[in-house]
Amino acid sequence: MPDDVLHDFSPRYQGSSFEQMVETFKGSFGPFAASPAGSARNFHWKTDFCSDGTATMITSHFSSEWSASAEPETPQWLSVMFPRSGAINIALGREIVEGTPGKLLLAANHEAERFFVRGEPHLSDVLRLNWTMIMRKFAAILDTPLVGALELSPVVDLATPSGQLIGRLAQTIIVGMRDDGPLLRSPIAMAHLTDAFADLMLRSIPHRFSHFLDKKAGLIAPWHVRQAIEYMQVNIALPFSMQTVAEEIGVSVRALETGFRAFRATTPAAFLRTMRLRAAREDLLDASNRQSVRDICLKWGFFHFGRFSALYKAAYGEAPSKTRKRAP
């Protein structure tokens, strides 16, 4: 959408103080840390946003600069950012990435140290995608769950064919959602578009696991690796060893180890542990599950609670107790 049209967008929310803006966003998106670059009082802002639960579209105009960062309790999402005037800077470790008009930025909110909203005024579109959806698509593409940081390359080159396609697809979703647009009344179309975006992004934007995509394109996991994964999935709630898995599918433990290292870049035991961590997370997020965190830990075969908590935090960026508190 042209910038002059965006300047005239009709916001559902607006105000003249920084605190009011922060409370508006917290009320809809959960807790986060934020601070103004200048005066918090003479801070004019307006914003409009809408969501279908998986995708959220946000158009915002700010008169002054500010910055924000995720807290442990902040829900996880992928931000797809289009600066229209001003800039968006992202602190990723020691690197500061700058996004200006004409660029598209990608960042997982729990992987970035801080987001800086630059420009007076600043105008931008942001598409947020639920991180669970990204994780599911990752698992479907690579046949292995995502554990730890994805480390997406943050700047999309819109001059490349794949970059142009990603940008246009994101813009299609944004325009289709804006002003309670037709995509919000078309859940099947929305699901197809967001799924296509996630698939294209994971296949064409460099990230920590991109080299496995290159390997997977020419190689299919051997039958014994596939059967081992099937056995783990069926018996995930039962106690068993890798020796048991190897015997059930008729190979040696060494062959099983070699196959997993070659085709899943991990060991069979680590693969199973990741599956059980994900199952524990699903239980923790289930409001109808009345088990304690410790009981869920034991249910999925983690007998040392401290070790479970450390593994869980490394995988999901928060303690199990924090996840439990976020259960709807």
Per-residue pLDDT for 2 more than 80?
no
Please give the share of the chain, as a percent, with pLDDT higher than 90.
68
More confident residue, 39 or 231: 231
The pLDDT of residue 216: 56
Residues 28-85 pLDDT 10s = 999 999 999 987 778 999 999 999 989 999 999 999 999 999 998 888 999 999 999 9
Mean predicted lDDT score pLDDT of the chain? 89
More confident residue, 15 or 157: 15
The pLDDT of residue 213: 79
Residues 106-139 pLDDT 10s = 999 999 999 999 999 999 999 999 998 998 898 8
Per-residue pLDDT for 184 more than 60?
yes
Structure confidence at residue 220 as a pLDDT band (50, 70, 90): low
Q: Distance between CA atoms of 148 and 75, rounded to whole angstroms?
A: 16
The pLDDT of residue 8: 59
Structure confidence at residue 6 as a pLDDT band (50, 70, 90): very low
Please report, for the chain, the start and end positions of each structural domain, with discontinuous segments joined by +: 3-209, 217-326
What's the CATH class of domain 3-209?
mainly beta
Ranges 15-24, 106-115, 213-222: which has the least confidence: 213-222
Nearest-CA neighbor of 128 among 90, 94, 164, 82? Answer: 82
**Residue 56: beta bridge partners?**
51, 128
Nearest-CA neighbor of 50 among 237, 229, 179? Answer: 179
More confident residue, 285 or 147: 285
The CATH superfamily holding the domain 217-326 is Homeodomain-like (1.10.10.60)
Amino acid at 183: L
Q: What's the whole-model pTM score? A: 0.73
Nearest-CA neighbor of 204 among 193, 214, 192, 194? Answer: 214
Residues 6+ apart with CB under 8 A from 226: none
Q: Residues 186-194: what's their mean pLDDT?
A: 94
Structure confidence at residue 215 as a pLDDT band (50, 70, 90): low
